[in-house]
A and B are shown apart, each in its own frame.
Chain A
Amino acid sequence: MDDSNLLSDFTFFLKEKKQEGIKIIAYLAHDNIPEELIDAAGFFPLRLIFGGSDELMDASHDYLPPSTCAFAQSCIGLFSIKPNYYKFLELVDYIIVSNHCVSDICVSEIISKYFNIPRLNFYVSYTKNENSLKYFKLELQDFRNQLEATLGKKISDEDIHNSILKFNNFKKKLLEINELETTGSEKLKLIHKSMLFGPDFLHDLENLIQKFKDTPQPVSTTSKDVLLTGCSIFINDNLIDLIEEGGGNIVFFDTWIGNHYYSQIIEDNHIDIEKDPLDLLVLKFKNNIYSDHSVPDFLKQKVSFIQKYSENYKKNKGRKLGVINHIIKFCDHISLMSSFLKDSLQEKGIQVLNLERDYSRANRGQLSTRIEAYLEMMK
């Protein structure tokens, strides 16, 4: 997928933000950062959702051993090389050091230290229960304080409420992408653009969704339907092309920039402006039950979600659904659970392809063969 246009548009967009005096706060791709607080402070949340390459991975080896996840390596590479389409990274004012996984900590810490970008901290407990929700609130409060210190003034509850509403509505719209009658790559383009531009893109997103609804683009009936779980396919990554060229079509993106994100939607009846807005953000975190960050029930939730989705899909569409578990090489969370996920789903009659890869070009042929073999077997 060539995303150079998207990146040029985004560069332009970000420059405009910068000219308006808006500060850019970057963070790694995952799913628990309270972007609403960043927005309420008047900053722009920049999610680093960019795929990698040999060159980017190599550029990280001064800082980290090559046995670090390929995405983390590439993030460092992006800040180190700043290739043409990524010059906008020069505009980043702060980076969030967070612990979605330990590579997330290392990478954001390295970006801060070696590329001179001040850091903000936001950490999340590994378990999800009453106490970790309470802890999440402590982190939110601390994060709010950090933002206020940077801003030099208080962030009002009202502004936080407004941002929560704004992002919540945005997520609801994003959710509609799943139902569109079009290819996975078209859906992914919409997801990428939305996640990059954020709610500023809502109006365009509404129009685009309407356009797809008005003129559906039916997908070839010979293609095999697939749910993508595990790691996301990021911007400028050709994996989706390989899947489509191999005869597959991703109908659902069950990843950080997909289901994990929509699952955080807060029900309207919970949004009470009298309430402490931080409690709403806690609720959002609580809703994110599919997050791979959490233990001990990630696998249980994941299996039950995929099973239900797959059964419903078969019932409603009359078609079988395959599952590709995308594992970015050396990803702690997704890799460690991959054999258990595969075994549990296969026990339930769902065929799974554990597709592990890094971003090197040399992989392409082997990836295609594996995808084709899997899709072939899916008949």
Chain B
Amino acid sequence: MSLVADEIITFSSVLRIAFNMLNGRNYLKRKKFRDKEKLVAVTLPFSDLAFAAGTVPVFPIRMHEFDISRYLSYLGSASSIFGWNAVSNFLSFTKNLGFEKVSKIVDDIIEDVIGTINYKYNEMYDVGIEAGISSDFCYGLKSLVGMHVTKGKNVDACLNVTIRCSAYNKYLESLKSINKAPKQIWIDIPPRNLGNSIELLTDNISNALNEFEKLTGNSITDNDLRAHFKIGNQVKRSYKNIIYDISASDFYPCNPATFSEIMALLSITFQDYNSNAVRYRDNIVSLEKEMRERIRKGVGMDVSKMPRIFVTPMFGGWEPKTHDIIYELGGRTLYADWELLKFLEEIPTAAHTNPSEEYARFLMRATETGIGCDNDKLTDSYLRMATDLNADGIIFFQLFGCHSISNCYAMLREKVRRELEIPITAITFNKIGDNVEQVKTRLGAFMEMFPKKK
């Protein structure tokens, strides 16, 4: 599908984010062995304290070598000499020359970014099962276990933040059995905001910071925290702008399948900012700019007649072919999991604020009004997000083995039908690529519900 490749290479920021994601292994090795920095395993968007502590957060899959990294490393080398914009222009140029071989390489690099990541996810899933996690658990957890079995020994610590998902919390506990060496740093988020819960959570955060200090031997000041939160806030601002101002608008800077591919890449990389917050901030800020610039110039696609299909949840595992299929069926896919779960809220950084307390408030808001302590709250989050995106329909990925998010579907369907009056359907998911045909059939039937707009 060279359409996607054609589109993506004109966004040099996307190329950079993809390169940094897939080339993580080299970067991390350099950080660990040359710069003597500490690697800290993170999952879900909980990397803030690791950054503020001066460690290198890593979503463990990034310690793997990815199949296409050889090509990307050529590009990486070229970019360090000529700069990424030049590389991006060069790629567009070579693709347009029509040399089959060059064109093929470019296609391989770009098209396969998400595919390559997902192929690795599937590999990790199999390793997880071999390592003894029951196949009854969700795709995400099986893959995470696989990541820790294969690469977990390379990290110096794991940052474990409890959430309402009991399987996830037990997976966190199991990490010290999988690899004995890494230090386990815990942050417990109280289930509800009662009494002085914020104070307790602030104290839990301070305790975690002490553990980070022991790990690095350096102290962490309030200013370190604020400095990182400021960078994080810029990332979140751009991410939100892309979600609301661009993905929910009627003119896209590229075709909707490409756009979804970019959103999927952001969703994956947002968990650890590709281990470098400043670089990630620069990339996402320029991505927003590049998108706006194209829209301003009228480069892109009028999508006003394409129904907006909100596809969620995707972070625990989803079928990545979905957005291509929806595009082929005349719709566009919107992904916004982190915003739905309130992970894109900014953290106040004014000088008079206590940054640990502000971070506690941030985590508590995500717990209370994002994922929610029960399904009533969680389903409200879906409703809110669908409304904010002005969605015409919802596809809910019901993950086999997920007892937390997937179990809310019956309640969600009822609320959506009653309050939003838009179509919603569930697609069961076990493993990437497992039942694409079934997904196609389900999506085909679902998209029939939207009259073709003239």
A:313-348 near B, CB below 8 Å: 329-330, 332-333, 335-340, 343-344
B373 lies within 8 A of A330 (CB): no
Interface-facing stretch out of A186-194, A254-262, A294-302: A294-302
**Which B residues between 283 and 320 are near A, CB-CB below 8 angstroms?**
none
Set of chain B residues within 8 Å of A296, measured between Cβ atoms = 160, 172-173, 176, 184, 186
Q: Is A139 in contact with chain B by the CB < 8 A criterion?
A: yes
B167 contacts A68, CB within 8 Å?
no
Alpha-carbon distance A105/B167, docked complex (angstroms): 13
Q: Which residue of A lies closest to B398 (CB)?
A: A65
- A135 close to B197 (CB less than 8 A): yes
Q: Does B376 contact A (CB under 8 A)?
A: yes
Nearest Cβ on chain B to A279's Cβ, whole angstroms? 15
A65–B170 CB distance below 8 A? no
Is the CB–CB distance between B136 and A138 below 8 Å? Answer: no
Contact indicator B177/A99 (Cβ below 8 Å) = no
**How many residues of chain A get a CB closer than 8 Å to chain B's CBs?**
51
Cα A68 to Cα B172 in complex, Å, equals 21
Q: Contact mask B125-141 → A, CB, 8 Å, 1/0?
A: 00000001110110001
A139-B193 Cα distance, complex, nearest whole Å: 10
Give A349 Cβ to nearest chain B Cβ, in Å.
18
Stretch of A37-45, A126-134, A227-235 on the interface side: A126-134
| Contact in complex: A67, B404 (CB < 8 Å) | no
Q: Is the CB–CB distance between A123 and B191 below 8 Å?
A: yes
Residue pair B403, A62 in contact (C-beta under 8 Å): no
Please name all residues of chain B whose beta carbon is closer than 8 Å to the beta carbon of A132 when the two chains form the complex.
188, 190
A59 CB-CB contact with B under 8 Å? no
Residues on the A chain within 8 Å of B170, using CB: 295, 332-333, 336-337
How far is B91's CA from A82's CA once the two chains are assembled, in angstroms? 67
Q: Which A residues touch B375, using CB under 8 A?
A: 105-106, 109
In the bound complex, do residue A336 and residue B403 qualify as a contact, i.e. CB atoms below 8 Å apart? no
Shortest Cβ distance from residue A166 to the other chain B in the assembled complex, whole angstroms = 27
| Alpha-carbon distance A323/B162, docked complex (angstroms) | 30
Complexed CA–CA distance, A134 and B409 (Å): 34
Which of chain B's residues 390-441 have a Cβ closer than 8 Å to chain A?
Answer: 398, 400-404, 406-411, 428
CB distance from B431 to the nearest CB of A (A): 14
Q: Of A65, A131, A333, which is within 8 A of B204 by CB?
A: A131
Given contacts A109-B375, A126-B162, A295-B162, contact A99 B200 (CB under 8 A): no
In this complex, what residue of B is CB-closest to A98?
B191
B321 contacts which chain A residues (CB < 8 A)?
A: none
Whether A125 is near chain B, meaning CB under 8 Å from some CB there, is yes
Closest chain-B Cβ to A68's Cβ sits at a distance in Å of 6
Name the residue on A nearest B404 (C-beta).
Answer: A102
- Using CB atoms, name the residue of chain B closest to A329: B136
Asked if B200 and A131 make an inter-chain contact with CB atoms under 8 angstroms apart, the answer reads yes
Per-residue CB proximity of B357-392 to A under 8 Å, as 1/0? 000000000000000011110000000000000000
**Interface presence of A353 (CB below 8 A):** no
User: A127, B166: Cβ atoms under 8 Å?
Assistant: no
Asked if A63 and B136 make an inter-chain contact with CB atoms under 8 angstroms apart, the answer reads no
User: How distant is the Cα of A339 from the Cα of B142 in the complex, in angstroms?
Assistant: 14
CB contact under 8 A between A335 and B134, given known A126-B162, A139-B194, A296-B176:
yes
| Interface mask (A94-110 → B, CB under 8 Å = 1, otherwise 0) | 00010111110110011
Q: Which residue of B lies closest to A337 (CB)?
A: B170
Contacts of A64 in B (CB 8 A): 407, 410
Known: A97-B374, A135-B190. A332 touches B403 (CB 8 A): yes
Q: Return chain A residues, CB-CB under 8 Å to B197.
A: 135, 138
B213 at the binding interface (Cβ < 8 Å): no
Is A102 within 8 A of B403, CB to CB? yes
CB of A332 within 8 A of CB of B166, answer: yes
* Residue of A with least CB distance to B167: A332
Q: For residue A275, which residues in chain B have a CB less than 8 angstroms away from its CB?
A: none
Q: Are A109 and B136 also in contact (CB < 8 A) when A124-B191, A135-B200, A337-B173 are?
A: no
Flag B154-179 by CB within 8 Å of A: 1 or 0 each: 00000010101111011111101100
Instruction: Report the bound CA distance from A330 to B411 in whole Å.
Output: 21
Cα distance A279–B375 in the bound complex, in angstroms: 31
- Contacts A68-B403, A336-B171 given; does A102 touch B188 at CB 8 Å: no
Report the bound CA distance from A102 to B141 in whole Å: 15
A142 adjacent to chain B (CB < 8 Å):
yes
Supposing A101-B166, A102-B166, A126-B169 touch, asked if A340 and B177 sit within 8 A by C-beta, the answer is: yes
Contact between A330 and B136, CB atoms less than 8 A apart: yes
Given contacts A67-B400, A336-B167, contact A138 B194 (CB under 8 A): yes
Task: Evaluate contact between B403 and A69: CB separation under 8 angstroms.
Answer: yes
Nearest CB in chain A: distance from B149 CB, A: 12
CB of B338 to closest CB in A, whole Å: 20
A141 at the interface (CB under 8 A from B): yes
The residue in chain A whose Cβ has the minimal distance to the Cβ of B401 is A67
B174: nearest residue on chain A (CB-CB)? Answer: A340
Known: A123-B373, A339-B133, A356-B134. 4 other contacts (CB 8 A): A102-B404, A139-B194, A141-B195, A336-B141
9 cross-chain CB contacts under 8 A: A62-B410, A64-B407, A124-B191, A125-B190, A129-B188, A131-B200, A335-B137, A336-B133, A336-B170
Q: Please list the 5 inter-chain residue pairs (A to B) with the smallest Cβ-Cβ separation, ordered nearest first.
A: A339-B132, A123-B191, A101-B166, A127-B188, A336-B170
